[in-house]
Amino acid sequence: VQRAGFDGVWSSGLEISASHCVPDANILSMSDFLAATADMTRAVSLPVIADCDTGYGDANNVRYAVERHEACGAAAICIEDKTFPKRNSFDTGPHTLVSIAEFSGKVLAAKSAQRDPDTFVLARTEALIAGLGLSEALRRAAAYADAGADAVLVHDRGADPRTLFSFAERWRRETPLVVVPTTFHVVTASQLESAGIKMVIYANQGLRASIAAVSSVLARILADDGTTKVEDCIAPISEVLDLQGFPELRRNERLFGAVPLESRRSAVGD
């Protein structure tokens, strides 16, 4: 994500669940998601937004999630107004929401738990996913903004981006709006920006790209009886080693290995 030039990383519940081969339905525990987020914060210098689903329980669970995610270097956490256990928004459902009062309390709890003043709390409403309509989505988003959310993520799974354009047009708060274009992919990030959306999260395209690529390459290896024909469309091993930090490892060996002092000095000067 960083090398591609994005501004931040979304630590996706869907992607982390998929990488463990379990449904994105709170099957994994907070510790599993936290471990993945910690790996991400180590790997990049970009801000990492942790998708904390419903906050793993009630307001007390939310407070603990904020504490632990801040400690592992996450820049932001996102919580959504579904009931626990949640189900991924693209599943057929049912998608049930907690009351506005209950979720506003969770937003307050998140904001009260942060120790770093810069930690960003995204409040996500699933009203459109649950089929409750635009007015309910706006009512919920406004309540969460009033409870102190730093941004409101309004999630939708329709094909038509005009629902979110209408949402943005009717939005009366300063609180920034965030969207996740998966099904309404015909819209560009620039069009969303013109409509007043402040952050666009491409939440699952990386995982979907790798599933398509791995499936196609493995099928071709079997069909072609070897790998020569796929070599051009797979990353060289050197890129894998670079990504996992071999350049730094080699440098550290020159600095800290059992070497004469002179060569250590020249390594420091590298």
Q: Does 26 bind ligand SPV (CB under 6 A)?
A: no
The answer to whether residue 182 forms part of the interface with ligand SPV (CB under 6 A) is yes
Q: Which 198-237 residues touch ligand SPV, going by CB under 6 A?
A: 203-204
CB of 254 to ligand SPV, least distance (A): 40
Q: Which stretch binds Mg ion (CB under 5 A): 11-19, 29-37, 56-64, 205-213?
A: 11-19
CB 28 within 8 A of CB 20: yes
| Choice from 15, 34, 51, 122 touching Mg ion (CB under 5 A) | 51
Residue 54 binds to ligand SPV (criterion: CB under 6 A): no
For residue 160, give every residue at least 6 positions away whose Cβ sits within 8 Å of its Cβ, in sequence order, or none.
184
Total interface residues for ligand SPV by CB under 6 A = 11
- For ligand SPV, give the closer residue by CB, 13 or 161: 13
The question of whether 116 is a catalytic residue gets the answer: no
- Return d(Cα 40, Cα 44) in angstroms, integer: 6
Return the range that interacts with ligand SPV (CB under 6 A); candidates 11-19, 137-145, 234-242, 256-264: 11-19
The stretch near ligand SPV (CB under 6 A) out of 9-17, 69-77, 217-225, 254-262 is 9-17
Q: What residues line the site for Mg ion (CB under 5 A)?
A: 13, 51
Q: What residues line the site for ligand SPV (CB under 6 A)?
A: 12-14, 24, 51, 88-89, 180, 182, 203-204
